[in-house]
Structure 1
Amino acid sequence: MFSINYVYFGVFLVFSMMSFIFSLIFMIMDYSVIFEFELFSINSSSILMTILLDWMSLLFMSFVLYISSMVVLYSKEYMSGDLNMNRFIMLVSMFVLSMMLLIISPNLISILLGWDGLGLVSYCLVIYYQNVKSYNAGMLTALTNRIGDVALLMSIAWMLNYGSWNYIYYLEFMKNDLSMNLISWMVVLASITKSAQIPFSSWLPAAMAAPTPVSSLVHSSTLVTAGVYLLIRFNNSLSLNLMMFLLFLGTLTMFMAGLGANFEYDLKKIIALSTLSQLGLMMSILALGEYYLAFFHLLTHALFKATLFMCAGCMIHNLNDCQDIRFMGGLVMHMPLTSCFFNISNLSLCGLPFLSGFYSKDLILEVLSMNYLNIFIYLIFFISTGLTVCYTFRLMYYSMFGSFNFLSLNNLNDKGFLMLKGMGGLIFMVIMGGSLLMWIIFPTPYFICLPLIMKIMALLVSILGAYMGYEFSKFYLHYNLKSFSIFQLSLFFSLMWNMPFLSTFFINFYPLNFGKIIYNNLDQGWSEYLGSQNFFNQFKNSSMFMQILFNNNLKIFLILLVLWLIFILMI
């Protein structure tokens, strides 16, 4: 029987190639097209569907479709034991289509459709393995993303003043308008919820409950990048205060995620935190006004992050669904090709010269060094880069080069040919993609003039981070009462500065507890005493009184007659 996976794989791949070719043509011709389709017209009001095609949307679409095609091929083998494979592929394709709608929309209404589509389908995918952990993670994801949806709805309401929701027309010349300022703040709020910046970061590692192919898609090019892409589109309308605010949040997120990943032992969670760190980097450089660089890093990051998750999935698959890196080790002996792909992607993430991550990351750090900014931002950027290299080398030590700690009776191998094909389709782009994209996006190179020490700062920080990661791997904290403070500190870092507690307790525990108090004191208390129960007692008493009257009406009538006669006689 011909599988649905191959159909979707073929369709996505063909459309990806077409989109890439068109993006090159549009870029060379400096060309952009806006299509308007009239859906229906009532009197003088017409409902239009607007589509914007320029080199940016087409290039991003080609990357999303290419990664999706590889993920669908990879899923054929990874999800082979699943009874509902077709449903899974349908959900993934709906996810990709929502992203497409978001990418090509210059209109806030159609953006909201794509945005909400991503939110709803991501909920279905996170709870795909139906257990309590998945349900909790799915609810946290859905509720956090709802905040962004509401912000977008409010910006739609404010944009009603302009006569059209095609925001692309108003961004530049309405920049100083109060309404556009409000809309910009709302759009930034929506973006930081979707791209999991502080204080909405806790849903991203929780969403790891989804199957690994979904994680690969979500963390590389779809859900979390939607916020960054929206801000790239809105970059002309962002005020200076808003950009400073965004820069602060982005740098904090980058630092927090890098620090947290160094204390984590779950393979998928480490890679999720690395995504969070890179999203912080994209947001920060976007807030410095370099939206081209943010877009460039978005694309290169999508390539190596998708490959990284695929390799992690392959390892988890072979280790009987074990995700703890302490059980791994020496995998390079048993799974050489997967390990090779994993290491290339990891080194690309670190920014090793001439892999795809290097071109965007190094350029971002050098442009930052060229800018006139405070020492806090400069230090946080470089420390976070060092931490990235640090947790990457720690991960490589534990999984690739450390001692093998899994079952002695095992069947570790590289036999998953379809999974290897999926990864193999991406690894070429991980190696070559950065340089190709750089030649395409920046026909005129950036002129960077820095002193030698600042020029080699990125390399020095990376080498230092790699050494620290190696040293970190060699000791394991043995907790006792004397080192309890160290234990608390490491727990604080690994729990993302207690953000999961804040988001779950503030969203779940306190409202529910408050609801219980209100229920006991109001619903079952005063409102019961003064409300329905009180009415009931009053009605009951009056009806009992009336009942007495009706039961004894003859007696009462005679008594009243006697009283009346006495009264008459007295007068």
Structure 2
Amino acid sequence: MLWNIKMAVSSMAFLLVVACCGLLGSLSLLKEGGCYFLEWELTSVNGVSVEMALLFDWMSLLFLSFVCFISSMVLYYSGSYMGGDSNMARFMYIVLGFVASMLFLILSPNLISILLGWDGLGLVSYALVIYYQNEKSASAGMLTALSNRVGDVAILLSIAFMADLGGWNFIFYVGGDSLGGSLAVWLIGLAAMTKSAQIPFSAWLPAAMAAPTPVSALVHSSTLVTAGVYLLIRFSPSLAGSSLSGVLMLIGCTTMFMAGLGANFETDLKKIIALSTLSQLGVMVGILSFGGAMLAFFHLLTHALFKALLFMCAGSIIHGVSDSQDIRTMGNLVRFMPMSVMCVNLANLSLCGIPFLSGFYSKDLILEVAFMGPLNMICLIMFGVATGLTVSYSFRLVYYSLSGPWNLSCASSVSDEDVVMTRPMGALSVGAVLGGAALSWVLFPACLMICLPPLFKMLALLVTLIGGAVGYTLNMISVECKLKSLGFYKASFFSGSMWFMPFLSTVGVSMGGLKVGSVYHQLSDSGWSEYYGGQGTYFMLSHTSKILQSIQENSIKIYLLVMLLWVVGLLLVF
């Protein structure tokens, strides 16, 4: 146990140093308005250079510092949470490999070099999801890997289409009007949708909760799921005026609404927080479609702070209640785990956008800019309702696990005695309170002019109050009245199952794909394609080569036969 904590502390110290250096470098470059671009040419193909490139600008260094800070807290937290694991060193090395892949993706402005970090995230995330080596983890890992492979193929195809522009350094070529550039942007949008789990690729994100909780805190706050949004932010100049922006707006709003609705019917603590992450990713993709790349980046950073804190608190609670993740078996934890409960409340209130916490500065600004933008009525309603649903499931979680009736057995021993787990939570709590204000001063030193009618100006606060009241009181009434939602079982099941997306992504796709693959194999691979393809060509060429070889042996029999055929041919002609 002591060795595990020492290893976690050493990893944490290294990442903290990198985070501090990245933060100082980002502030310096932001003040100077410059950047550093490093490039190594590997080879040249048809006049197009294949390069490895690194871009050090204020955005990449700031995101790098946040990733390293959260990763350092997660690794220190893992020293206690994973202390009983017999493969602690392997776990630490896999997490460090995950962080390294994310850092490589952040610093790469070149699609070829970014593919290394992108595929590294996919490979290491699969290893982390199947870490517990049971059937559920294997199924979740396979769903995660196959869903993300769609994005990997899109990145590969975009590399092929960007060759039309003369290079793969996308920061120099975005915004072009060529066909290859337009197709590359659409493929990048598809890749971002798979990595950030937008509809219809949303099923893998809650399934990835099969991974250990420290991994969830890292993956669902600042690394894997934000990689797609970060790539869209880098490609944001190409989204302006593109038809892709309208598609992303509809997809982001629908994902946000679907995830918020599903979280209000979920009972697994980690899946509720995962659906919360999915909802916030929808917010980021939605505001990106309006051209608000800076706003999306702002919310990306603030969300990373309070979402990592929320997952750490969830891990502390799960650890304390004998590894149960069902919120209905908890309750009244405020008497026994005051530190964890305080941090959960801070993270929840920041998520809801309560004024003057970190989530308020980004979320309120995003909603007001969206209300000023060219929103149609459906997307406007989705934005408002999804904001209320966020507060609703947050207060539902508070009632079931923190302040509601005690549902644990009398033999449970619940406490906050493990300081190795509570210290990182305290550090992230400071970020959840002060991070939004500090980032708003840095990223938006000049005030934005927002002109809205009083109703729209107060709409965010109004739906927050309504959502909180509905989420707390309605669930309290439902528990006392034996779950009235069971009277609407079909609607509850449809809403709680993410609109049947897990079924469609697993059984539906696999069964349909297997049937189509079987027919294709019979008709093509083992049929006409085999007869006229590889085997047919092989037999034809081998038979022809044997005839030519026999002719070249200068045999008198063959010579006489050819002469006879030639004479017969002449007689037939004349």
Q: TM-score range by the shorter chain?
A: 0.7 to 0.9
Distance in 2 separating the partners of 1:104 and 1:112: 12
Q: 117-126 or 159-168, which moves further after superposition?
A: 159-168
Quick check: 1:79 aligned with 2:82? yes
Instruction: Say whether the 8 Å CA contact 2:164–2:181 is kept in structure 1.
Output: no
- Separation in 2 of the partners of 1:46 and 1:470? 59
**Pair 1:479–1:509, CA change in 2 (3 A):** farther
Q: Secondary structure of 1:360's partner?
A: helix
**In 2, Cα distance between the equivalents of 1:42 and 1:221?**
36
Mean CA deviation greater in 470-479 or 83-92:
470-479
Q: Quickly say closer, same or farther: Cα 1:177–1:396, change in 2 above 3 A.
A: same
Q: Which residue of 2 aligns with 1:391?
A: 393
8 Å Cα contact 2:165/2:178 also seen in 1:
no
RMSD: 2.2
CA distance in structure 2 between the aligned counterparts of 1:56 and 1:518, rounded to whole angstroms: 47
- The answer as to whether partners of 1:92 and 1:214 remain within 8 angstroms in 2 is yes
Tell me the alpha carbon deviations over residues 308-334 of structure 1, each in whole angstroms, 9 at most, x when there is no partner: 000000000111110000011100000
CA-to-aligned-CA distance 1:422-468 (integer Å, 9 cap, x gap): 11111101100000000000111111122222211111110000011
SS at match of 1:220: coil
Q: Tell me, what secondary structure is at the counterpart of 1:201?
A: coil
Structure 1 residue 515: deviation in Å?
Answer: 6.0
Residue 489 of structure 1: how far off its partner (Å): 1.0
The CA deviation at 1:517 is 7.9
Contact kept, 8 Å, 2:51 with 2:110, in 1: the verdict is no
Q: Secondary structure at the match of 1:50?
A: strand
Shift of 1:6: 1.5
Q: Is the 8 A contact 2:165 2:180 kept in 1?
A: no
What CA distance in whole angstroms lies between the structure 1 residues aligned with 2:170 and 2:368?
Answer: 32
Give, as a single letter, the amino acid of the residue that structure 2 aligns with 1:220: S
Q: Hey, what does 1:219 align to over in structure 2?
A: 220
Residues 182/514 of structure 1: CA separation in 2 closer, same or farther (3 Å cut): closer
Residues 515-554 of structure 1 aligned to structure 2 (within 5 Å): none
In 2, are the aligned partners of 1:479 and 1:487 still within 8 Å (CA)? no
- Name the SS of the counterpart of 1:229 in structure 2: helix
Aligned pairs for 1:18-417 (under 5 A) are: 18-38=21-41, 47-172=50-175, 174=176, 176-238=177-239, 239-417=241-419
1:357-412 Cα shifts (integer Å, max 9, x gaps): 00000001111122242221211101100000000000001111100101111110
**Runs of 5+ consecutive residues of structure 2 not aligned to the other structure:** 532-574
Alignment partners' CA distance in 2, 1:196 and 1:402: 32
Residues 484-505 of structure 1, C-alpha deviations (whole Å, 9 max, x = no match)? 7711110110000000000001
Partner Cα distance (2:497, 2:49) in 1: 51
The equivalent position to 1:471 in structure 2, one of 470, 473, 483, is 473
Q: Distance in 2 between matches of 1:47 and 1:198?
A: 34
Unaligned 5+ runs, structure 1:
531-571
Moved more, 39-48 or 295-304: 39-48
Decide which moves more: 161-170 or 402-411: 161-170
What do residues 135-178 of structure 1 show as CA deviations (whole Å, max 9, x unaligned)?
00000000000000000000001111222111111113x1x221
| Deviation for aligned residue 1:41 | 8.2
Amino acid at match of 2:192: S
* 1:260-294 residue CA offsets vs partner (Å, 9 max, x unmatched): 00001000000000000000000000001111000
Task: Name the CA distance, whole Å, in 1 between partners of 2:272 and 2:174.
Answer: 38
- Say if 2:154 and 2:190, in contact at 8 Å, map to a contact too: yes
Change (3 A) 1:513 1:38: closer
- Give the greater-gyration-radius structure (CA): 1
- The partner residue of 2:492 within 471, 490, 493 is 490
Q: Give the superposition deviation at 1:71.
A: 0.1
Determine the C-alpha separation between the residues in 1 that align with 2:343 and 2:511. 43
Cα deviation per residue 1:68-106 (whole Å; 9 max; x = unaligned)? 000000000000000000100100000011000100111
Q: Secondary structure at the match of 2:405?
A: coil
